[in-house]
Amino acid sequence: MRSVLSRKVAPRLQCIISRNATSSTPIREGVGSGSLNRRMVSSYTEDFDSDQKTALVLGSSGVLGKTLTKHLSRNLGMSVIGADVVAGEDESSLDAFVPIPTLDDKHPGLGEMTEALAIGLCEVLADGRDIDTIICAAGSWQSDPTAPNTASSDKDFIAGARSFGDNIDAMMAANLYPVLAAGYAANRFMAEEGLFVVIGATAALSPTPGMLGYGLGKSGAHHFVQTLGEISGKSATTKSRRRKARKLRQNNEYLDTLSVVGILPTTIDTPSNRESMSDHDFSQWTQPEDIAMEIGTWIKLPSMRPHSGGLVKVFPNKSGGASFNLVR
């Protein structure tokens, strides 16, 4: 199997810096942090052999993404490939970076985003490695634009139509489409006993008045987790559905041992959330580090992973740290 062979290949990483991965792409070599030669630093990871382990983090330039890449790289010694619509300011935890397009009139569809990620990964993984862990931490929040009403003029109503649609398109592109693009990439690059983590939202387990686009994006992300979960190895589905699922697996052996899990925070403690909700109780929010620690445990100890397709709520403990409760 490819996933076994690839572990014997010494990785040599490249950092793709072009914003447009579909054109001829300037390559900058050796920009990574050299994490592959680092040793593990804490007792938490002391018996975890990560020398050849690779992670892909979507949304690597965001607050959660940066926390995740730091943890995987520095504490678990993994090689981390980042992907985002913009490069982060500090890439010292990344061994490679794949730019993905912001979807707009010029870059209209999920096809383009999926293709950009696929092209980038083909370059980064040209040495034959595969990916042990994929984490989709990309996301963005906007409330619904002000709706028109029965007294609106034609002009206001028509202008509002564009804002309404653009808002939902943007929320889909930020919260759902990176998950789907990564889901496609998993077909080819996911290693044995792979872990695929998607950051969803507790809010999207229920209707989402006032934030329809965000809710659609995150509930779509949950639907993806449950759907991929149903055809992967450690799912909690019924026998008859398992039988049907096996027929759909085609030649994708990675599905036999894959765990795909959604982590559903309420609010993550980030500077921008503090700014926009300054009157809230920040102690009720989840620390990015706690999410990184939990995922780290799942990487290190596959037996600790929830069943594939599981949705896991996370909320802060009063005594510090966070609780992770399987809800679906």
Q: Shortest approach of a second copy to residue 280 CB, angstroms?
A: 15
Of 165 and 302, the one with the shorter C-beta distance to a second copy is 165
Instruction: Determine the interface stretch with a second copy among 58-66, 173-181, 265-273, 275-283 (rule: CB under 8 A).
Output: 173-181
Per the structure block, which two tokens stand in for 304? Answer: 């600790």
Six-digit token string for 292: 């990184």
Q: Is 63 in the site for a second copy (CB under 8 A)?
A: no
- Shortest Å, Cβ 288 to a second copy: 27
Task: Determine if 327 is a binding residue for a second copy (CB under 8 A).
Answer: no
Looking at the Cβ atoms of 77 and 309, the one nearer to a second copy is 309
- 3-class DSSP string for 266-287: CCECCHHHHHHCCCCCHHHCEC
Contact 84, 65 (CB under 8 A): yes
User: What does the alpha-carbon distance between residue 35 and residue 292 come to, in Å, rounded to a whole number?
Assistant: 17
* Residue 130 lies near a second copy (rule: CB under 8 A): yes
Considering the rule CB under 8 A, would residue 278 count as an interface residue with a second copy? Answer: no
By CB under 8 A, what part of segment 132-151 binds a second copy?
A: 146-151
CA distance 74 to 13: 17
Interface with a second copy (CB under 8 A), residue from 16, 78, 94, 172: 172
Instruction: Quickly tell me which residue has 């034959």 as its tokens.
Output: 128
Binding residues among 4-23 for a second copy as defined by CB under 8 A: none
Contact between 193 and a second copy by CB under 8 A: the answer reads no
Q: How many CA atoms lie within 13 A of 240 on its CB side?
A: 0
Site for a second copy in 238-277 (CB under 8 A): 244-245, 248, 250-254
Q: Which of 9, 86, 187, 326 binds a second copy (CB under 8 A)?
A: 187
Element (H, E) at 288: helix 288-300
What's the rounded Cα separation, in Å, for the pair 154 and 184?
A: 42
